[in-house]
């Protein structure tokens, strides 16, 4: 998952997310493999946008699970 980092100014774009929020969202039933600093590279030039790049692995699932992300 690639998302805006909380250190990016909130004057535009989607919600900023912290590492704590990522870990809380993918708590039960998931393994957070990693969370790394990254950045979006805008196609129009200029500075990149601070982001988090994370990888998660689903540990278990049953047919009755409802997954809301």
Q: Where are the domains of the chain?
A: 2-58
Contact assessment for residue 33 and residue 56, using Cβ atoms and an 8 Å cutoff: yes
What is the band of 62 on the pLDDT scale with cuts at 50, 70, 90?
low
pLDDT band, residue 56 (cuts 50/70/90): very high
For residue 61, pLDDT over 90 is answered with no
Of 46, 55, 51, 44, give the one whose Cα is nearest residue 13: 51
DSSP per-residue codes, 11-66: SSSS--B-HHHHHHHT-TTEEEEEEEEEEE--TT-S--EEEEEEEEEE----TT--
pLDDT tens column, 17-50: 999 999 999 988 899 999 999 999 888 877 888 9
Please state the rounded mean pLDDT for residues 10-17: 85
Inform me whether the pLDDT recorded for 10 exceeds 90: no
């Amino acid at each position: 998952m690639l998302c805006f980092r909380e250190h990016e100014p909130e004057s535009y774009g989607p919600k900023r997310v912290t590492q704590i929020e990522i870990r809380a969202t993918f708590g039960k039933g998931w393994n957070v493999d990693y969370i790394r600093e990254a950045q979006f590279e805008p196609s129009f030039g200029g500075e990149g946008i601070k982001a988090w790049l994370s990888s998660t692995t689903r540990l278990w699932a049953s047919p009755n699970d409802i997954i809301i992300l």
